[in-house]
């Protein structure tokens, strides 16, 4: 018993340490920025954060929001449990009234749940799981496309370009899916299957694999047996390279179409070299795109390079840049107020046609808070560059078929 | 039939690399009696070494062995001398937790230094293959397999015929008596740890032409190496090689004919079964294993 | 040659050696006899550096050897054939012998020494490529002694050589010991086996409860009734 | 009926026959000594009886019940208590050390504590109950070893060199204990090297050499036996 | 008189803990407390096996079993988690029985390896069995408020639940330690052969400890699932969070003692949050670097954990309050 007493005292002391937060200053607008910046999602989490950070820097240079400078309170959602703690901390200690993030869907699910239960705004700029905005929360908004949008982009491309190129009808096209068995891969693969059913594409094989696996030959063998016309790959990181390399090693001569993630990384092309040529990919808007439809992109890239000393590593930063700008615009219109009613009104009234943001996406929120004008573009690796090839208005090159 | 042979070949090639990585773990385990949880991180470090030499100095991965191997040997020696030597007299579990600490440390230092990016090298032979009668064999994988076989033979010869090798075997068996012979046991521990690191480095470097590296790549290798070392028998180099091939082939067949997502589960199940039924390993002798926890 | 003066030695708080003093003169076979747990092996451990002692000093060839590590004591020319032989079971006989010559001065001449050992124990030459674990008890003991000789010691200490050997084999082993002594190697035998030991030893110490209770040229000791009493309580 | 019946018991370790074809009986209430030179197989015999190693051949019966195939813990519960030659106290205080075996007889810790205290008092260790065994003398630790074995309430107590390493006064103090134990109804088989101690308490002595039983009888008979003398002094070609 | 001081101090401490939710309106503070209580429970449960000298690095498996069974029963069949508890206990019991098979033959590091492999197998199955677990996409606990559903708007109810679980686990762990089982476990840990010879059924006590530890962990897992609303294999089977962390807490606090795990969890949980907040945002990964260093240093410089450093203090404290140091 006496030890319990001692412990209680020690306990309280320790907690006070972790609790001493900094309180919000009145002259700034405090927003929580929650991304996984350590752990195994660190790479893309950080890349996503950079996009939002650039938006913040840019906006502050232009005078901030409603005359106030924007300050990010950063949180590290390295694990789901951490996502929860950090959300609680940002809300309680940093007194943020809105949070943006998160890149990874499972982190977002946890964090937005915490925020929603406290009526704190949660703006998702990069996670794509369909479920995020389908839980009936009034304060959860998403600016980026969903996994369904990803698959829509793919299916449209397959039906409208691939099928004619191969001289087949849409219902004759056979698709093989190889996806990492994490939450990202699984959710995209599920969406694809749903969409394929609607459009009559045949799915001949669905292969899930662990993204920490160091050998994917078995995936290749199974795909080889199924002999599809195109392989839709959902890879999170290095597995994208591994898949392409082993496809090549083991003679799988079928075009591969990635789904963001690993297929969008510059490292993908650097690692594969000429072999990367012709690999298709569907993702958020990338950098080699028709800039007429993406005003602000060049400015973003310039500032990114100034700040981080190299070219953006993936389109995620751009998507987060676009999303953060949308939020700033909303807050500008509410006059810096986080009043739920005001925000909701402003957001619902927002109506931006495609081609007027840095990603080319329009902005129009549906009742669930999802931006229905967010869309995914098809890109292709060409000489080490990820160029946009579909839809036509965004395209800077014609797609080619490389087996 | 060709298909099965192709799967078999791919499994064997994979198994060769697995064996190469595991042999280092087995050596460290046999001689120093430490279950090294930071083993995969040694592989990771060597892979980064190879990558940076390629990136900064345009050094071919195979040529970079000249730098990476001695460096990793030295790294292993330093690790043993300054971090593990002081806890050598504590229980096996405590030693194990020290290596867990090393593993956490190395992984996150790598993250700090080199970020989370996955990095790969691109060589002219990365994608080259040999084709005959419908079978395809990747050349860099074949090279890695050959190197694995060669280095295991060399290690065997080293242990069998050199004086130092014999001393190492004597220590594996009974370090107290080895000391009576005048064998400087601690110094041989350094050697064994250095060699263990060297073999994992060899595995890591030879993988670079067809694999990429990132800070958390080591974890699965550690798990894999433990499975292989236990299957092959502690202290048995030949057993480790066979077990490596065995796991490679199991992985290839299970992945192809059961499910790619479950292939790891299958070898972990085999591992558990072996631990239950024949903890001394499928192929090995398992000498002195009571000391560290086998009945 | 070897001189122990007033050694006190503890295992934890238990005193294993009490004020123990003994001398081994060069060229002799000296025996240390005593019942179980009298402190015989501890004496050897103290000499070979494996067991620290709190009091007293040990000199070898007039030089103190306190605090020298076991692996370095071998270099000085003191070899120990441990109780229970402790061969490296999975190594071959030849490898076992070679490892005996690990210390620097012995390593260079190990080819020659190996021939000498083979001459002494021809059976080891026949068995040279077998693993030590496959040898019979007597052969193992020969191998262990051979391994000790490989270190080119000036002093060879043998712990419980006759343990687990049949009387006939034990007798042969003691004869071997005499042959080894004849080459000029000083021998320090630690034994329970009174009869054979006394047959070969030049000088005998009796140890009881960590203390030397009697010493003298073997002939004198042999005649003493106390010896019988020590062993059989008669 | 004999308490312990050993028949043709044999155990080999690799090529070494540690115990060879041993046959003997122990009657209830006896104090039997077991002697033999180093490496004769005495401790292996104890390990065989207590189940730490399993016999290759032969039978072992405790009060008519076969022990073959039983694990050490079950043999202990059947009534075999033993001490180890090298004291092996658990990493806990003296009382707790003795409570461990007492708790195999009852699940109730307060009863076990009481039982353990009784044993400690009998062994003269009561005052050290809360001390750590590491801080006690060897003689005291040897007594803990005996106390622990006693706390299992054994029918047959196997004592492995409980007097070795003690100084003469300590030996003299511990000797009467053995008789005292027997008087509480425990049968005792003990290994001892101190001959005078053995002579003083043993009623019957078994002599082992090279794994075999070479002689059996009263202390006086045994010490005058030619074979025994030869086994000990190593004279040539014993004829037995 | 001195006994009174003791009771008053203890009572005051307990009261303080009970009043925390009233004093701190911040759910973040409550969250840290709640998390700490969960880890006290987990570490105490883990520690029950450590009494017997067996160190598991696979408790995430039992944690996840409890979480999944409870959540699946609730989400798929609408069974209240309070009833689901029995299911969680039963499932983890079966899991414990399976893991006990290698336990009988393995000791030390090899047993630890087996626990890791066991967890990996379960994790991969949970990922692959999409019909049941929804794979990596995970399950959501719907937001239906109510005690029966274990879903609350404020942080206070879970604070009290976690506090009760922590107290319960520590009480159970203390009870085990001073029961016949505890004595036998400690004996087996210190010398299995001697313990067997003294009638301790080594296998039985180790398996019993494993089962107690496993079921307790599963109960904690169930409540954690409802606390964190989202279940997915990557988190629940996480080696770092639920296998390594309890072991780390115990080692740093003082393994194999009743209070070591409590001290370890109380020290490490807020520290982890603190490090992530202050270091993780400065430089990604830096917090784990500090973690690694703490672990290496603990093993090297005070392998007995924090408790061993506090013991001299404790002795003085006992003398001061006149406690004679009996364990009962």
Number of structural domains in chain C: 1
Place of tokens 């593993």: B103
Supply C43's token pair.
């004496």
Supply D163's token pair.
């007097």
Max Cα-Cα span within chain D: 59
Residues in contact with E279: Cβ distance below 8 Å, sequence separation at least 6, in sequence order: E286, E287, E290
Question: Is residue A254 located within the same domain as residue A346?
Answer: no
H or E segment and range at residue A178: strand A174-180
d(CA B157, CA B176): 25
d(CA E21, CA E154): 10
Q: Cβ(E210)–Cβ(E99) under 8 Å?
A: yes
Question: Is residue A243 located within the same domain as residue A388?
Answer: yes
Quick one: pLDDT band at residue A84, thresholds 50, 70, 90?
confident
d(CA D160, CA E130): 61
In a domain, A400, yes or no: no
CA closest to E11 among chain A residues: A5
Q: CATH number for the domain including C108? A: 3.40.50.300
d(CA E280, CA A74): 10
| pLDDT score recorded for residue D165 | 65
In a domain, C59, yes or no: no
Report yes or no on chains E and D touching (3+ CB pairs under 8 A). Answer: yes
pLDDT digits (tens, 9 = 90+) for E261-311: 999 999 889 888 888 777 766 777 788 888 889 889 988 888 888 888 877
pLDDT digits (tens, 9 = 90+) for B160-218: 889 899 999 888 888 888 888 888 899 999 999 999 999 999 999 999 988 889 888 99
C159: β partners = C190
Answer yes or no: is pLDDT of C210 > 90.
Answer: no
In a domain, C19, yes or no: no
Peptide bond before residue A102 is cis, with ω within 30 degrees of 0: yes
| pLDDT score recorded for residue C75 | 86
d(CA E241, CA B48): 27
Domain limits for position A344: 9-145+295-372
Answer yes or no: is pLDDT of B295 > 50.
Answer: no
Check CB contact under 8 Å for E199 and D152.
Answer: yes
| pLDDT score recorded for residue B286 | 46
pLDDT digits (tens, 9 = 90+) for C177-193: 898 898 889 999 998 77
Check CB contact under 8 Å for A249 and B108.
Answer: no
* D226 vs B155, residue with greater confidence: B155
Domain limits for position E60: 17-237
> CB count, 10 Å around CB of A331?
26
CA closest to C98 among chain B residues: B163
Answer yes or no: is pLDDT of B41 > 90.
Answer: yes
Supply E59's token pair.
């408790």
Q: Residue C76, Cα to own-chain centre: how many angstroms? A: 15
Q: Is the dihedral of CA A137, A143, A144, A146 positive or negative?
A: positive
Check CB contact under 8 Å for A43 and B118.
Answer: yes
Strands D31-35 and D212-217 turn out to be unpaired
A126-130, B69-73, E171-175, E208-212: segment of lowest average pLDDT: A126-130
Q: Of D72, D103, D110, which is closest to E196 when you measure between CB atoms?
A: D72
Which of B180, B237, B239, B288 to substitute to test the interface with C, most C CBs within 10 Å?
Answer: B180
| pLDDT score recorded for residue C231 | 60
| pLDDT score recorded for residue E280 | 67
d(CA D210, CA D230): 13
Question: Is residue A136 located within the same domain as residue A205?
Answer: no
Answer yes or no: is pLDDT of D238 > 60.
Answer: no
Q: Of the segments A224-238, B46-60, B105-119, which one has the largest average pLDDT value?
A: B46-60
Answer yes or no: is pLDDT of A20 > 60.
Answer: no
Question: Is residue A304 located within the same domain as residue A221?
Answer: no
Per DSSP, the residues of B85-143 read: GGGTTS-HHHHHHHHHHHHHHHHHHHHHHH-S--EE---TTTT-EEEETTEEEEHHHHH
Question: Is residue A17 located within the same domain as residue A139?
Answer: yes
| pLDDT score recorded for residue A57 | 93
In a domain, E45, yes or no: yes
- D168-200: string of b/e by CB count within 10 Å (b at 16+)? eebbeebbebbeebbeeebbbbbbbbbbebbbb
Quick one: pLDDT band at residue C232, thresholds 50, 70, 90?
low
d(CA E36, CA E42): 10
Average pLDDT over residues D4-15: 85
Using a CB-CB distance cutoff of 8 angstroms, which residues of chain E are in contact with residue D107? 179-180
Using a CB-CB distance cutoff of 8 angstroms, which residues of chain A are in contact with residue E31? 84-85, 88-89
Percentage of chain E modeled with pLDDT above 70: 92
Check CB contact under 8 Å for A212 and B210.
Answer: no
Supply E290's token pair.
């500090």
| pLDDT score recorded for residue D234 | 58
Answer yes or no: is pLDDT of E1 > 70.
Answer: no
E231: β partners = E139
H-helix segments, E138-201: 156-177, 180-190, 192-197
H-helix segments, chain D: 42-50, 72-78, 94-102, 109-122, 138-151, 168-183, 195-201, 219-223, 226-233
Answer yes or no: is pLDDT of C234 > 50.
Answer: no
| pLDDT score recorded for residue E278 | 77
Domains of chain D: 1-79+155-165+187-240 (3.40.50.300), 85-153 (no CATH)
pLDDT digits (tens, 9 = 90+) for E30-43: 888 899 999 999 99
Average pLDDT over residues B46-70: 94
Answer yes or no: is pLDDT of B290 > 50.
Answer: no
Residue-averaged pLDDT of chain E: 86
Residue-averaged pLDDT of chain A: 86
d(CA A137, CA A156): 31
Answer yes or no: is pLDDT of A206 > 80.
Answer: yes
Q: Residue B154, Cα to own-chain centre: how many angstroms? A: 15
| pLDDT score recorded for residue E205 | 93
Number of structural domains in chain A: 2
Question: Is residue A386 located within the same domain as residue A249?
Answer: yes
Q: Cβ(D79)–Cβ(D156) under 8 Å?
A: yes
> CB count, 10 Å around CB of C189?
26
| pLDDT score recorded for residue E201 | 92
Residues in contact with D190: Cβ distance below 8 Å, sequence separation at least 6, in sequence order: D31, D32, D33, D34, D157, D158, D159, D160, D162, D178, D202
Nearest CA-CA distance, residue E195 and chain D, Å? 8
Check CB contact under 8 Å for B118 and A241.
Answer: yes
Extents of the domains making up chain B = 17-218
Question: Is residue A165 located within the same domain as residue A279?
Answer: yes
Quick one: pLDDT band at residue E149, thresholds 50, 70, 90?
confident
CB pairs under 8 A between A and B: 128
Residue-averaged pLDDT of chain B: 87
CA distances from B281 to A100, B19, B234, B277, B294 (A): 52, 15, 7, 9, 11
Q: Cβ(B261)–Cβ(A208) under 8 Å?
A: yes
Answer yes or no: is pLDDT of E186 > 80.
Answer: yes
CA distances from B122 to B145, C180, E262 (A): 20, 67, 52
Average pLDDT over residues B45-71: 94
Quick one: pLDDT band at residue E328, thresholds 50, 70, 90?
very low
Q: Identify the contact set of chain C against chain B, taking CB-CB distances under 8 A.
A: 48, 50, 70-72, 74-75, 80, 82, 86, 88-91, 95, 98-100, 102-103, 107, 147, 151
Quick one: pLDDT band at residue E325, thresholds 50, 70, 90?
very low
Using a CB-CB distance cutoff of 8 angstroms, which residues of chain D are in contact with residue E200? 73, 100-101, 104
Q: Of A209, A238, A313, which is closest to B261 when you measure between CB atoms?
A: A209
Quick one: pLDDT band at residue A23, thresholds 50, 70, 90?
very low
CB pairs under 8 A between C and D: 72
d(CA C215, CA C193): 17
In a domain, C56, yes or no: no
Q: What's the whole-model pTM score?
A: 0.87
Question: Is residue A383 located within the same domain as residue A261?
Answer: yes
Check CB contact under 8 Å for B100 and E110.
Answer: no
* 3-state SS, residue D193: coil
A315-319, B173-177, B225-229: segment of lowest average pLDDT: B173-177
E204 touches chain A (CB under 8 A): no
Number of structural domains in chain E: 1
A28 touches chain E (CB under 8 A): no
Residue-averaged pLDDT of chain C: 85
Report yes or no on chains D and A touching (3+ CB pairs under 8 A). Answer: no
Q: CATH number for the domain including A357? A: 3.40.50.2300
d(CA A179, CA B261): 10
Domain limits for position C119: 25-51+69-230
d(CA D151, CA E199): 10
| pLDDT score recorded for residue E213 | 96
Average pLDDT over residues A249-274: 86
Question: Is residue A153 located within the same domain as residue A106?
Answer: no
Using a CB-CB distance cutoff of 8 angstroms, which residues of chain D are in contact with residue C228? 233
d(CA A232, CA A151): 10
Average pLDDT over residues E208-216: 96
Q: Cβ(B48)–Cβ(B110) under 8 Å?
A: yes
Q: Cβ(A37)–Cβ(E279) under 8 Å?
A: no
Place of tokens 């032409």: B209
Average pLDDT over residues E47-55: 90
Q: Of D73, D92, D106, which is closest to E200 when you measure between CB atoms?
A: D73
Question: Is residue A99 located within the same domain as residue A175?
Answer: no
A342-346, A355-359, D211-215, E277-281: segment of lowest average pLDDT: E277-281
Average pLDDT over residues E219-225: 94
Q: Cβ(A209)–Cβ(A246) under 8 Å?
A: no
Residues in contact with D21: Cβ distance below 8 Å, sequence separation at least 6, in sequence order: D8, D9, D10, D58, D212
């Amino acid at each position: 018993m006496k030890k319990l007493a001692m412990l209680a005292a020690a306990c309280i002391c320790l907690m006070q340490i972790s609790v001493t937060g900094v309180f919000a200053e009145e002259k700034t607008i405090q927003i929580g920025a929650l991304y996984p910046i350590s752990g195994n999602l660190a790479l893309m989490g950080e890349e996503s954060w950079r996009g939002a950070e650039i938006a913040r820097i840019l906006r502050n240079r232009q005078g901030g929001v409603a005359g106030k400078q924007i300050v990010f309170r950063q949180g590290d959602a390295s694990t789901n449990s951490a996502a929860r703690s950090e959300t609680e901390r940002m809300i309680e200690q940093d007194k943020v009234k809105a949070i943006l993030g998160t890149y990874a869907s499972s982190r977002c699910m946890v964090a937005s749940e915490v925020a929603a239960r406290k009526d704190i705004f949660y703006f998702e700029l990069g996670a794509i799981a369909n479920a995020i905005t389908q839980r009936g929360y009034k304060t959860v908004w998403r600016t980026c496309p969903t996994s369904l949008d990803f698959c829509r982009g793919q299916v449209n491309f397959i039906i409208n370009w691939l099928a004619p190129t191969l001289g087949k009808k849409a219902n004759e096209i056979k698709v093989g899916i190889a996806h990492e068995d994490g939450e990202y891969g699984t959710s995209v693969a599920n969406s694809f299957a749903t969409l394929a059913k609607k459009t009559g594409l045949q799915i001949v094989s669905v292969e899930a694999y662990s993204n920490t696996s160091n050998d994917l030959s078995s995936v290749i063998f199974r795909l080889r047996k199924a002999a599809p016309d195109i392989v839709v790959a959902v890879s999170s990181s290095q597995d994208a390279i591994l898949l392409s390399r082993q496809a090549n090693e083991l003679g799988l001569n079928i075009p591969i179409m990635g789904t963001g993630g690993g297929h969008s990384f510059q490292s993908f092309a650097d690692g594969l070299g000429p072999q990367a040529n012709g690999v298709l990919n569907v993702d958020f808007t990338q950098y080699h795109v028709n800039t007429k439809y993406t005003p602000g992109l060049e400015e973003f890239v310039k500032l990114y390079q100034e700040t981080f000393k190299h070219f953006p590593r993936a389109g995620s930063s751009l998507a987060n840049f676009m999303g953060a700008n949308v939020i700033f615009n909303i807050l500008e219109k509410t006059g810096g107020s986080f009043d739920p009613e005001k925000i909701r009104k402003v957001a619902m009234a927002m109506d931006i046609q495609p081609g007027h943001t840095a990603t080319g996406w329009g902005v129009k929120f549906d009742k669930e808070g999802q931006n229905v004008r967010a869309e995914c573009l098809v890109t292709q690796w060409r000489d080490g560059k990820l160029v946009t090839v579909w839809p036509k208005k965004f395209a800077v090159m014609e797609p080619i078929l490389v087996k | 039939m060709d298909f099965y042979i192709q799967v078999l070949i791919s499994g064997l090639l994979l198994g060769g690399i697995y064996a190469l990585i595991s042999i280092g773990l087995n050596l460290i385990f046999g001689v120093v009696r430490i279950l090294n949880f930071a083993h995969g991180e040694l592989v990771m470090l060597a892979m980064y070494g190879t990558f940076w030499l390629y990136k900064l100095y345009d050094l071919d991965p195979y040529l970079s062995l000249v730098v990476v191997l001695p460096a990793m040997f030295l790294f292993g020696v330093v690790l043993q001398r300054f971090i593990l030597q002081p806890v050598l007299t504590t229980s096996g579990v405590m030693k194990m937790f020290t290596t867990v600490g090393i593993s956490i440390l190395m992984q996150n230092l790598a993250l700090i230094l080199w970020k989370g990016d996955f990095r790969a090298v691109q060589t002219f032979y990365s994608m080259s293959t040999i084709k005959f009668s419908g079978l395809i064999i990747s050349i860099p994988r074949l090279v890695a397999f050959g190197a694995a076989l060669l280095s295991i033979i060399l290690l065997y010869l080293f242990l069998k015929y050199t004086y130092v090798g014999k001393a190492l075997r004597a220590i594996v068996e009974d370090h107290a008596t080895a000391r009576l012979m005048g064998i400087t046991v601690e110094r041989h521990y350094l050697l064994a740890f250095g060699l263990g690191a060297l073999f994992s480095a060899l595995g890591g470097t030879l993988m670079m032409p067809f694999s990429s590296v990132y800070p958390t790549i080591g974890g699965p290798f550690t798990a894999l190496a433990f499975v292989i070392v236990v299957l092959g028998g502690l202290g048995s180099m030949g057993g480790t090689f066979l077990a490596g091939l065995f796991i490679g082939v199991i992985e290839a067949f299970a992945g192809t004919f059961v499910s790619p997502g479950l292939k790891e589960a299958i070898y972990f199940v085999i591992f558990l079964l072996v631990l239950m039924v024949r903890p001394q390993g499928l192929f090995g002798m398992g000498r002195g294993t009571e000391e560290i926890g086998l009945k | 040659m070897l001189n122990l003066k007033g050694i006190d030695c503890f295992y934890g708080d238990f005193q294993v050696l009490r004020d123990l003093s003994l001398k081994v003169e060069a060229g002799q076979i000296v025996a240390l006899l005593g019942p179980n747990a009298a402190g015989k092996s501890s004496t050897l451990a103290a000499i070979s550096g494996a067991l620290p002692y709190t009091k007293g000093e040990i000199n070898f060839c007039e030089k103190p050897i306190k605090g020298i590590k076991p692996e370095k004591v071998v270099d000085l020319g003191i070899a120990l054939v441990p109780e229970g032989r402790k061969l490296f079971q999975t190594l071959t006989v030849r490898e076992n012998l070679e490892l005996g010559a690990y210390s620097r001065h012995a390593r260079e001449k190990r080819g020659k020494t190996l021939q000498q050992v083979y001459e002494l124990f021809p059976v080891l030459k026949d068995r040279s490529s077998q693993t030590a674990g496959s040898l019979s008890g007597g052969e193992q003991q020969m191998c262990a002694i051979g391994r000790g000789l490989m270190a080119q010691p000036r002093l060879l200490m043998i712990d419980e050589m006759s343990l687990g050997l049949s009387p006939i084999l034990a007798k042969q082993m003691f004869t071997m010991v005499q042959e080894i002594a004849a080459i000029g190697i000083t021998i320090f035998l630690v034994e329970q086996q009174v009869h054979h030991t006394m047959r070969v030893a030049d000088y005998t110490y009796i140890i009881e409860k960590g203390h030397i209770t009697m010493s003298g040229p073997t002939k004198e000791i042999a005649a003493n009734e106390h010896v019988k009493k020590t062993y059989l309580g008669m | 009926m004999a308490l312990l019946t050993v028949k043709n018991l044999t155990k080999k370790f690799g090529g070494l026959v540690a115990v060879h074809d041993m046959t003997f009986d122990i009657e209830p209430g006896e104090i039997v000594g077991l002697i033999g030179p180093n490496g004769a197989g005495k401790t292996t015999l104890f390990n065989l009886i207590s189940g730490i190693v399993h016999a290759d051949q032969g039978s072992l019966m405790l009060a008519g019940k076969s022990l073959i195939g039983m694990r050490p813990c079950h043999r202990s519960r059947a009534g075999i208590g033993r001490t180890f030659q090298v004291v092996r106290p658990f990493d806990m205080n003296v009382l707790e050390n003795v409570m461990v075996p007492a708790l195999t007889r009852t699940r109730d810790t307060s009863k076990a504590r009481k039982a353990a205290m009784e044993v400690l008092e009998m062994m003269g260790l009561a005052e050290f109950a809360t001390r750590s065994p590491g801080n006690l003398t060897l003689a005291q630790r040897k007594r803990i070893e005996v106390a622990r074995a006693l706390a299992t309430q054994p029918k047959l107590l196997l004592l492995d060199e409980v007097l070795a390493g003690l100084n003469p006064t300590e030996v003299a103090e511990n000797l009467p204990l053995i008789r005292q134990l027997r008087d509480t109804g425990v049968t005792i088989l003990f290994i001892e090297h101190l001959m005078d101690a053995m002579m003083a308490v043993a009623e019957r002595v078994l002599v082992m050499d090279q794994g075999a039983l070479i002689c059996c009888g009263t202390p006086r008979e045994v010490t005058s036996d030619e074979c025994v003398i030869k086994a000990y002094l190593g004279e040539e070609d014993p004829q037995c | 008189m001195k006994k009174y001081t003791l009771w008053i101090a203890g009572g005051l401490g307990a009261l303080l803990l009970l009043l925390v939710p009233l004093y701190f309106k911040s759910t973040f503070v409550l969250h840290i407390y709640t998390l700490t209580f969960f880890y006290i429970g987990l570490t105490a449960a883990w520690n029950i096996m450590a009494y017997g000298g067996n160190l598991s690095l696979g408790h995430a498996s039992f944690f996840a079993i409890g979480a999944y069974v409870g959540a699946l029963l609730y989400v798929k069949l609408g069974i209240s988690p309070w009833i689901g508890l029995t299911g969680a206990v039963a499932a983890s019991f079966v899991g414990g029985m399976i893991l006990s098979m290698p336990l009988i033959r393995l000791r030390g590091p090899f047993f630890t390896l087996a626990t890791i492999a066991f967890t990996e197998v379960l994790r991969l199955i949970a990922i692959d069995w999409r019909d049941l677990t929804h794979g990596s996409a995970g399950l959501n606990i719907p937001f239906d408020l109510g005690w029966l559903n274990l879903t609350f708007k404020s942080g206070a109810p879970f604070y009290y639940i976690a506090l009760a679980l922590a107290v319960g686990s520590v009480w159970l762990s203390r009870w085990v330690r001073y029961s016949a089982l505890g004595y036998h476990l400690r004996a087996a840990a210190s010398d299995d052969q001697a313990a067997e010879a003294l009638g301790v059924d080594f296998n039985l006590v180790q398996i019993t400890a494993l089962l107690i530890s496993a079921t307790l962990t599963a109960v904690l897992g169930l409540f954690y699932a409802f606390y964190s609303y989202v279940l997915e294999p990557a988190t629940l089977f996480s080696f770092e969070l639920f296998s390594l962390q309890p072991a780390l807490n115990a080692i740093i606090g003082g393994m194999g003692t009743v209070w070591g795990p409590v001290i370890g969890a109380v020290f490490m949980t807020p520290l982890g949050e603190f490090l992530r907040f202050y270091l993780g945002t400065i430089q990604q990964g830096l917090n784990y670097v500090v973690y690694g260093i703490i672990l290496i240093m603990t093993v090297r410089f005070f392998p007995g954990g924090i408790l061993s450093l506090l013991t001299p203090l404790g002795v003085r404290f006992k003398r001061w309050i006149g406690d004679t140091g009996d364990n009962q």
